[in-house]
Structure 1
């Protein structure tokens, strides 16, 4: 079987080659279908580079002005959807350069002076990842706002607190929701750390060794809002740690969303019935008219698995690459873009669901009353009021649970005589301690579930977010 070959060499790098690449080679080498979304960042980086070349006298003012005007026109064309994909031009960088040549002629060829596609790609990707991080931070903030509002609304709504998916102690719904706010706060800090780390400009590293032209790397770094230029030209073009940093932060954030999605799925099921899903975030069944399926939550849960895969794909891609640049790095962009798209969708969907979910407090309260969830409160009362060592108090409370189960009643339905038959040191005050509201109100330690503590946590979170 023969593989057809084109008759023309590549307009970007074809001087070394007499013939063109095989059609299959052209197809496998092309990334325009994926990296066309970098157009804005590629043009902005080229504008900064052109400005630096003109300032340094490396290109003339007339050519520099023509390049700037041509790039501005391409920016406008791209903004209006004007990219015509051509595999022969390989990527967005080739497309922009070719279009610039069509617009301004020979002067376009001067733009690539003192620049390689290696440092160009690294710069464009850093600019895009920085934008993607800002997008994630915006989406996280929107979800945090919804969670804070619902947590404040339900600061005193009692629900079961689970360990091992078994009823452990009563908590408040507000407190439970604020646990996810803590996770999102850590997600935010990871994205912020990643943004700080990536904010060095690779432009000027050229292919891998720097350049002999008198460039000003501080000029381009400042123009593109980086903190400064990268320190090593080899690392500048080989580094994709910033992609891994983004994917790592995205993976943890997606896993947190998946945990919340799983709880929504459980809470919406009939055995729980803690929530009612709105029509906007549910689907029906093609055969069972009674069904209301939590498909949005299920897809958020599944997206986390794909984002984990995106992280692993890039880690495996990078693990054996020698310095400096290799074409393998081109395959780091599809997982990056995939993870961003999925995380953006998941964060927005979760914010919409949490905002519109109807909680059912009476179902939550009934579930909190089951499982003898205030047994620890009986033990704590014995420690605090009868000077009983906690381990002994734990055993006494355990016997009280066994007595309640024997009578087929809830622990707080045992009368004082029943409790004193187990241990005479149990006083009347213990009966109040066994009530759900008393239990949650007693948990006033820092970070506890007491309603006042939940409201304090909400206020503190809002104050923290309002700081510049």
Structure 2
């Protein structure tokens, strides 16, 4: 493809690290589809005639069939997907194949292929993310009456519904999905027609090519077009952010699955055993999902480090982009699939969840009770905290303090406090939008369902 001015063979060591065919061969469809559209643009611009165009289109279809059937042969000198397809096309149709690359560079070719591959495949991640949200919604509906402690700093804070907890993770994913949709629009910009860096000398219709390939726009600077990999950097960042959210979900479920908590049980389908301890069922699926975040962050950071010192336009350093892209895509797909299955088959132990509640977690409710009786919040906070401290000193719980002790703290505590020490009531009073009351949780479920219907299934 490029050896005209060379009279020496490439060193084997360079040839080995230069070749990317084992990585980028998964873009065979995109390379062929883009080549078909480019051939049409050349014909419409009177650069190639109709007979050559037909030969090229038929030949490319035959090459595509060979890839799909697994009969394509890759030769030792094939550097990448582009060289395989071009070589095989020439073997099939002869000299007409040599006209296909007129005005085109592998620089704008690969930039087009990888964008097209992402547009064809990234929506799978959008659907998987939506699928995980759906099983979270299902879990929240089935377990709407399950009460459990909510935590800050891993210390019991206030009672909440299981539904409120699991939906807290669903909202992270909703934002991830929205961000992914924005990213897809930013990716749908066609570089084809930019040449190596300076543009195309033939009157091809770039906007027509963009429309036929499903792009929303074309690049407006050829130097930027061939050297721009921001869309991959953005996707790798998206994986690191979404992966972080999935890691936090995994961590919560791993903790809740421990014998000490026992709030949930991970099904045997998504657990593994021990080579020594016969009784063990380890949440290895969740642990692997948690660890995946490290690889996402590593790929994102590593690729940004690759980009940071590159001079303008295309440099071969950019060849690493597809390795990181495909690795992150594949791992994210599997991570989401594992989490969908794990949450879908998760068993919630309502009794263990409720047993973990204690009246100390209602101290905030006592604060609210005092506020409703006219005490300024800061004073009410101090009074409730003092009551809790005295209960600790007396080795009892706050609801069992004597009337004398309560009156010594604050006159208002002499009233009947029995209504304060009620977990269900404590949850139900938090009914503002976003709260953990039944009505508020149902509002969340309704909003997420509407979002899924309008933004994902439209």
Give the TM-score taking structure 2 as reference length: 0.96
Q: 1:284 aligns with which of 273, 283, 287?
A: 273
> How much does 1:429 deviate?
5.5
Q: 1:70 aligns with which of 47, 59, 65?
A: 59
Q: How many Å separate the matches in 1 of 2:403 and 2:210?
A: 75
How many residues are matched? 455
Q: How many Å separate the matches in 2 of 1:345 and 1:428?
A: 57
For the 8 Å contact 1:441–1:449, the answer to whether it is kept is yes
- CA-based RMSD: 1.5
| Residue of structure 1 equivalent to 2:242 | 253
Q: Secondary structure at the match of 1:267?
A: helix
> How much does 1:417 deviate?
6.1
Q: 2:29 aligns with which of 31, 40, 43?
A: 40
Q: Secondary structure at the match of 1:192?
A: helix
Q: Secondary structure at the match of 2:419?
A: helix
> How much does 1:140 deviate?
0.4
Q: Secondary structure at the match of 1:430?
A: coil
Q: Secondary structure at the match of 2:417?
A: helix
> How much does 1:23 deviate?
1.3
Q: How many Å separate the matches in 2 of 1:277 and 1:423?
A: 47
Q: How many Å separate the matches in 2 of 1:418 and 1:156?
A: 35
| Residue of structure 1 equivalent to 2:222 | 233
Q: How many Å separate the matches in 1 of 2:345 and 2:223?
A: 51
The answer to whether the aligner puts 1:172 opposite 2:161 as a matched pair is: yes
For the 8 Å contact 1:416–1:431, the answer to whether it is kept is no
| Residue of structure 2 equivalent to 1:242 | 231
Q: How many Å separate the matches in 1 of 2:59 and 2:416?
A: 82
Q: 2:371 aligns with which of 365, 378, 383?
A: 383
| Residue of structure 1 equivalent to 2:4 | 15
Q: After the TM superposition, which of the residue ranges 45-54 and 304-313 deviates more from structure 2?
A: 45-54
The answer to whether the aligner puts 1:154 opposite 2:137 as a matched pair is: no
For the 8 Å contact 1:129–1:246, the answer to whether it is kept is no
Q: 2:379 aligns with which of 392, 401, 405?
A: 392
The answer to whether the aligner puts 1:458 opposite 2:445 as a matched pair is: yes
Give the TM-score taking structure 1 as reference length: 0.94
Question: Quick one: structure 1 residues 75 and 411, their matched pair in 2 at CA, closer, same or farther if it must change by over 3 Å?
Answer: farther
Q: How many Å separate the matches in 1 of 2:265 and 2:441?
A: 24
* Residues 203-222 of structure 1 aligned to structure 2 (within 5 Å): 203-222=192-211
Q: Secondary structure at the match of 1:137?
A: helix
Q: Secondary structure at the match of 1:171?
A: strand
For the 8 Å contact 2:433–2:443, the answer to whether it is kept is no
Q: 2:121 aligns with which of 125, 128, 132?
A: 132
> How much does 1:86 deviate?
3.1
For the 8 Å contact 1:30–1:87, the answer to whether it is kept is no
> How much does 1:82 deviate?
3.0
> How much does 1:424 deviate?
2.6
> How much does 1:114 deviate?
1.6
| Residue of structure 1 equivalent to 2:361 | 373
| Structure 1 gap segments, 5+ residues each | 1-11
The answer to whether the aligner puts 1:144 opposite 2:122 as a matched pair is: no
| Residue of structure 1 equivalent to 2:417 | 430
| Structure 2 gap segments, 5+ residues each | none
Question: Quick one: structure 1 residues 79 and 429, their matched pair in 2 at CA, closer, same or farther if it must change by over 3 Å?
Answer: farther
| Residue of structure 1 equivalent to 2:336 | 347
| Residue of structure 2 equivalent to 1:298 | 287
Q: After the TM superposition, which of the residue ranges 54-63 and 89-98 deviates more from structure 2?
A: 54-63
| Residue of structure 2 equivalent to 1:3 | none
* Deviations 1:318-350 (CA, angstroms, capped at 9, x unpaired): 001111111111011111111111111111110
> How much does 1:79 deviate?
1.4
Q: 2:81 aligns with which of 73, 88, 92?
A: 92
Question: Quick one: structure 1 residues 37 and 427, their matched pair in 2 at CA, closer, same or farther if it must change by over 3 Å?
Answer: farther
Q: How many Å separate the matches in 2 of 1:87 and 1:362?
A: 64
Q: 1:118 aligns with which of 83, 107, 118?
A: 107
Q: Which runs of 4+ in 1 moved over 6 A?
A: none
> How much does 1:78 deviate?
1.0
